Structure 1
């Protein structure tokens, strides 16, 4: 399913950005904000 992990207080989702947008409502607010602010880091994973 969807994978994510905490890293220095930041949450990174290891899923495609296109799919991330569809599921961001399932995650807590901080995770959604950090994922939106770090698109490159999310894409790296």
Structure 2
């Protein structure tokens, strides 16, 4: 019983970490594309 509970908790933690990393990477991608478009706009107006 205890062993199963540990496995369940580790699964929850793993799922959380995977979702968190996906979330962070998607934010990073959005930030990078946003920065590139801003730099492009600046270079066009400069």
- Whether the TM-score (by the shorter chain) exceeds 0.5 is no
Task: Report which of the two structures shows the higher radius of gyration computed on alpha carbons.
Answer: 2
TM-score, normalised to structure 2's length? 0.26
- Considering fraction of residues, name the structure with more helix: 2
Greater length-normalized contact order (CA 8 Å, ≥ 6 residues apart): 1
The TM-score, its normalising length taken from structure 1, stands at 0.27
